[in-house]
Amino acid sequence: MRTLVSVILSLSLIQAAQAGRDHDHKNKHHQHEHHQHDAHSHGAAHLNIAIDGSQLLIEFRSPAANIVGFEHQPRTPQQRQQITTAVEQLRQAEQLFITQGTSCRLEQHDIVTDLLSKHDHSHRHDDKHDAHSDFDANYALRCDNTAALTGINVALFKQFPAIESIAVQFITPAKQGGTNLTADKSFIQF
């Protein structure tokens, strides 16, 4: 699913490139900078949204600090429970992403966090002072009529108050764009 969202967003960038070479250079530069500085910044999160036929595809990525308040591997049963609870909250896509104009039902989800990984890579991170971890959630929802979808209210700020801002990129058949959400401005208008 994540790949599909990324592919759709990449296609939109290729279209932008065809629209004008200068514009393309600016876009690429901006994307690069964005990735370098904002890929993992506490308080900030990312949301990629794409419509593919009758499916609404959502990719959410956040530093673990925003979700459970720590980024090291769990050291106590309480911390392990916090992670389990967070994964359970993140599964509730229909409560987190409230669609307007049409109703959508969750078909598929995939919630991943390197807080629960046991391979060497994360262990090495755990030992490092500047260790960072993320939550990565991918959803596919099926909607009654994606053409009627006018926007999405994002309830992530209520569920996870440590999230201060969410950078959104979206592409629908009619429109593509981006916006920055906060707790006071949590609606994505397509």
Please give the residue ranges that form the binding site for Zn ion (CB under 5 A): 63, 71, 132
CA 141, CA 71: separation in Å to the nearest integer? 29
Smaller CB distance to Zn ion: residue 48 or 63?
A: 63
Smaller CB distance to Zn ion: residue 38 or 107?
A: 38
Partners of 182 in the β-ladder:
185
Write down the least CB distance from residue 70 to Zn ion, Å: 9
Q: Which helix (H) or strand (E) holds 171?
A: strand 165-171
Residue with smallest beta-carbon separation from Zn ion: 132
What are the tokens at 188? Answer: 């994505």
Q: What are the Cα distances from residue 172, in Å, to 31, 82, 120, 136?
A: 20, 35, 40, 22
SS (H, E, C) 26-51: HHHHHHHHHHHHHCCCCCEEEEEEEE
Write down the least CB distance from residue 50 to Zn ion, Å: 27
Smaller CB distance to Zn ion: residue 8 or 44?
A: 44
Smaller CB distance to Zn ion: residue 80 or 132?
A: 132
Smaller CB distance to Zn ion: residue 74 or 151?
A: 74
Q: What is the DSSP letter of 143?
A: E
Write down the least CB distance from residue 109 to Zn ion, Å: 23
Write down the least CB distance from residue 39 to Zn ion, Å: 10
Write down the least CB distance from residue 34 to Zn ion, Å: 17
CA 139, CA 155: separation in Å to the nearest integer? 15
